[in-house]
Structure 1
Amino acid sequence: MRDLKRLNGAVVKCERCPRLATYIRKVGREKVRRFENDDYWARPLPSWGDPGARLLIVGLAPAAHGGNRTGRMFTGDGSGDWLAKAMHGAGFASIPTSRAIDDGLVLHDAYITAAVRCAPPDNKPLPLEIASCSQYLSAEIAILKNVRVVLALGRIAFGAYCRVAGLKGLAFGHGIMHEIPGKVLLASYHPSRQNTNTGRLTWEMWAEIFRTARAVL
């Protein structure tokens, strides 16, 4: 627990990627009309969840007006609600919504992190930014000793985890599961609006991912 707090403290202070640091502050100043009265977090986001988790969820990056606004990953946007609802249904979350950092959502046996800790312009981090942020994911993997299932949300998150874990040649595709040393790596499409609104990721496909994770555990 202490190691995770120390690591998250370093994340929040990180300014290794000037483009991202500039962008998240700009978003926090200019805001959007629907959140014009909100105080934006506008800093790198710490990971969060159960320190004893057996399920590690790796996302892409915070959303500009979701996590970058609320101060918690997958919180305050549609992706956060999809994640919370599915996790609640599988017994990993206390409530089925993720709206604010003080909404009472508690994760059970699950920990949420991301390949990149700052919201990137157009949701597209640069390769150098992903590589720069990988030190934090690598440190988390070492600290979270109980993890047995890693769920990577999207191709970028999948690739980022494989790189820091030293895994090569693994195929990405929704629902694909790989046996890796001491763990299972499960791939999923990201619950972005681009995927959910177009039907590329349906609710049943999404819920099944968490049923699979629960069954493996």
Structure 2
Amino acid sequence: MSTDYPVQAAAEASTLTELKTRLVRCRACPRLVAWREETALAKRPAFADWEYWGRPVPGFGPADATMLITGLAPAAHGANRTGRMFTGDRAGDLLYATLYELGLASQATATGLDDGLELYGVRVTAPVHCAPPANRPTTRERDTCRVWLAREAQLMQTTMRSVVVLGAFGWQAALPAMQDAGWSVSRPRPAFGHGVRTTLAPAGGAGAEVTVFGCYHVSQRNVFTGRLTPAMLRRVLAEAAHNAGLRVERPGPG
């Protein structure tokens, strides 16, 4: 499969369901395909009885969401195992617990596709949809995969008002994707930082503005070192939810 597949397949998708169907077939990046499939076969001893997903991981959440959260890429033994973004790893434990506190998720835990989790007004995705070795996709892999995020955002343009970007890598991928999807991004591009926000106007003058919020990634390293605290994450998500017109029912302290 050539690197042309994502461009053509994403463009042909007229709904998020169609986008998912095409996305999970993608094999455009040989290194990522080899790694995700090798990991799915080798497994981690704690998950020896799991049948790993081992494919590109699609976005998750309602098609009419007003808020989009995008991270980096699936974890090898997290989303690459479960088939859902930020599910089955420590980063997801914090993210979904915080969304639950805010009243934006039906439960605080995310363990697998059949766990009953629902998101309210929020969709979760990533700029790279395959688990990369050492959690580090190459620039070329990021750019090849960007069309999926751009098309996802484009298909949400009538409802989406907020985008929360977790981490500097995600920020570098998300802003060009938003530009490709039809929003204007200033030059030079706004720099990433925790709590940074930038409002993007529709490039053609018609449609709605979208505000992009920067947040440190919910990685174990950031949480363990205190670079990102639960209160810091909660504050950014609450601000983005308010901007998106979502009611925050359980804001908690901080």
Pick the TM interval, shorter chain.
over 0.9
Structure 2 match to 1:188: 215
Q: 2:107 aligns with which of 72, 95, 118?
A: 95
Rounded to whole Å, the distance in 1 between the matches of 2:30 and 2:235 is: 39
Structure 1 match to 2:10: none
Report the TM-score, using the length of structure 2 for normalisation. 0.83
1:122 aligns with 2:142: no
Structure 2 match to 1:175: 195
1:150 aligns with 2:163: yes
8 Å CA contact 2:69, 2:166 repeated in 1: yes
Aligned AA (1:131) = D
Q: What does 1:1-217 align with in structure 2 at a 5 Å threshold?
A: 3-144=15-156, 145-166=158-179, 167=185, 168=187, 169-181=189-201, 182-216=209-243, 217=245
Q: Kindly tell me the number of residue pairs found equivalent between the two proteins.
A: 217
Structure of higher CA gyration radius: 2
Aligned AA (1:205) = M
Offset, 1:215: 2.4
Offset, 1:198: 1.1
Rounded to whole Å, the distance in 2 between the matches of 1:17 and 1:154 is: 22
8 Å CA contact 2:162, 2:212 repeated in 1: yes
- Helix, strand or coil: the match of 2:15? helix
Query: Which residues of structure 2 form unaligned runs of 5+?
Result: 1-12, 180-184, 202-208, 246-254
Offset, 1:151: 0.4
8 Å CA contact 2:14, 2:155 repeated in 1: no
- Helix, strand or coil: the match of 2:213? strand
Q: Percent identity?
A: 38
Offset, 1:2: 6.4
Rounded to whole Å, the distance in 2 between the matches of 1:133 and 1:211 is: 29
Q: CA-atom RMSD, angstroms?
A: 1.2
Rounded to whole Å, the distance in 1 between the matches of 2:151 and 2:14 is: 13
Rounded to whole Å, the distance in 2 between the matches of 1:91 and 1:213 is: 13
